Amino acid sequence: MDKTRYTSSSYGKVLLVPQKHYAAFYPKYLPQTVEMTPAVITLLADAESALGKLSGVGRMLPNPKLLITPYLLREALASTKIEGTQTNLVEVLENQASGGMQTPDVEEVSNYIKAAEAGQKRLATLPLSIRFLSEIHKILLDGVRGKEKQPGIIRTTQNWIGDGSLNLNSATFVPPPPDEVGNLLSDWEKFVHSDVQIPVLAQSALLHYQFETIHPFLDGNGRIGRLVIIFHLVDKKRLPGPLLYMSPYFDKNRSDYYAKLQGVREKGDLESWLLFFLRGVEQQAIDAVNRAQKLLERRDFYKQQVVAITRSSHANQLVDVLLSNPILTTRTVEKELEVSKPTAIRWLKQFSDLAIVERVSEGSRGQARYRAQEILQIIESDESNE
């Protein structure tokens, strides 16, 4: 690690590790207050407003899962993509529909979704904490790349960020040595539950930065750190569920994302990180609201069509299933709506006649699959206002 790039600041400094032949970054504990510039204050207000609108949309829905499931897909795909996975929305949904063998990349996306869903449920019984994150980390790495790197266990050896070189001195960034990690995590946890005089969104930015800087696990720190943002906002009652997907913003601006985090470490430049983070919250919250409007408009339109043709309010429930499962099989309908196979086939035929879904080639298990193309396009599009 190039020590000359670092200047000591209120956020940490680079030191030679005692009795070792390398330098590491030693973070300071998280601050109890943060001085905010007018630019940060202005952007914070805009981000808070956008997040409030998204929260309002989520709380008005009779079933928030209508948006949570497709939004988690966007988050999972982008967060794992940052770490090197090569898959897409259709491939993941096709696999979920068919129930076939998963590719390693699809399995990583599926694990991210499982971890996020498990975390949301666990927050009802366990506060956001290191124990909480260790449980989620174990789910995240279950059976996938990194499974041999002690899932759920805080590291006891040195790790680093770089190009895979075994030479710590050539690493891009070396987190604190393992004997520093325990106290840093205790402070991180205390910060979560302290009544600090810092706005919640700025707290989220600080918690993500500090977690990534500590790098407490041997693998999976980036994904867990991005989930921290979601869990923190849900824990603080700023969102009713994981409706904000920050990872697409981080992926789209990946160089800036890494540079802003590194800027806090190297120069103590917290302002640039806060501006970057808050701009992302505002953009992604606006995008989520716009996408929700499009999805709910399609939902209402489809329900009007279905009632007019089938005269069945029960069949109408299949429209909601489509928002969470835009690629499905008769078996999905049977399971989700607890109906017989002939009923599921009949409804899917009616939905095909209405062009709500289209039948596609049979999967690996010989099951016909049905694709709701308009819903897929809304979920998958890069910009919701296109």
* Per-residue model confidence as pLDDT tens digits over 208-243: 999 999 999 999 999 999 999 999 999 999 999 999
Task: Tell me if 57 is assigned to some domain.
Answer: yes
Does 107 share its domain with 36? yes
Does 268 share its domain with 294? no
Does the pTM surpass 0.85? The reply is: yes
Does 242 share its domain with 308? no
239-267 residue pLDDT tens? 999 999 999 999 999 999 999 999 999 99
Between 313 and 335, the higher pLDDT residue: 335
Does 321 share its domain with 213? no
Reply yes or no on whether the pLDDT at 363 is more than 70.
no
Task: Tell me if 272 is assigned to some domain.
Answer: yes
Does 308 share its domain with 361? yes
What pLDDT, on the 0 to 100 scale, is given for residue 68? 92
Task: Tell me if 174 is assigned to some domain.
Answer: yes
Question: Whole-angstrom Cα distance, residue 233 to residue 123?
Answer: 11
Reply yes or no on whether the pLDDT at 383 is more than 70.
no
Does 8 share its domain with 45? yes
Classify strands 358-360 and 23-27 as parallel, antiparallel or unpaired. unpaired
What are the strands, taking DSSP E only, across the chain?
12-16, 23-27, 327-329, 358-360, 369-371
What pLDDT, on the 0 to 100 scale, is given for residue 97? 85
Nearest to 303 by CA among 261, 354, 345, 338: 354
What pLDDT, on the 0 to 100 scale, is given for residue 385? 45
Percent of the chain with pLDDT over 70: 97
Reply yes or no on whether the pLDDT at 164 is more than 90.
no
Reply yes or no on whether the pLDDT at 139 is more than 90.
yes
What pLDDT, on the 0 to 100 scale, is given for residue 386? 42
Does 57 share its domain with 160? yes
Between 247 and 149, the higher pLDDT residue: 247
Does 42 share its domain with 191? yes
Does 49 share its domain with 124? yes
End residue of a domain, out of 289, 319, 334 = 289
Reply yes or no on whether the pLDDT at 196 is more than 90.
yes
Q: What strand order describes the sheet that includes 327-329?
A: 327-329, 369-371, 358-360
What pLDDT, on the 0 to 100 scale, is given for residue 243? 95
What pLDDT, on the 0 to 100 scale, is given for residue 253? 97
Report the chain's mean pLDDT, rounded to a whole number.
Answer: 92
State the residue range of the domain holding 215: 3-289
What pLDDT, on the 0 to 100 scale, is given for residue 144? 85
Question: Whole-angstrom Cα distance, residue 73 to residue 54?
Answer: 17
CA atoms within 13 A on the CB side of 182: 3
Does 230 share its domain with 325? no
Contact 302, 356 (CB under 8 A): yes
What pLDDT, on the 0 to 100 scale, is given for residue 345? 92
What pLDDT, on the 0 to 100 scale, is given for residue 364? 57
Helix then strand then coil, % of the chain, to nearest 5: 60, 5, 35
End residue of a domain, out of 234, 256, 289 = 289
Does 319 share its domain with 281? no
Reply yes or no on whether the pLDDT at 23 is more than 50.
yes
Between 188 and 381, the higher pLDDT residue: 188
For residue 330, what is the domain's CATH number?
A: 1.10.10.10
Tell me, what amino acid is at 301? Answer: F
CA atoms within 13 A on the CB side of 47: 25
What pLDDT, on the 0 to 100 scale, is given for residue 207? 98
Task: Tell me if 386 is assigned to some domain.
Answer: no
Between 12 and 384, the higher pLDDT residue: 12
Contact 71, 323 (CB under 8 A): no
Between 379 and 96, the higher pLDDT residue: 379
Question: Whole-angstrom Cα distance, residue 211 to residue 3?
Answer: 21
Contact 327, 93 (CB under 8 A): yes
Percent of the chain with pLDDT over 90: 79
Alpha-helical segments (H) within 123-220: 130-140, 178-193, 200-214
Q: Which pLDDT band holds residue 17 (cuts at 50, 70, 90)?
A: very high
Does 296 share its domain with 282? no
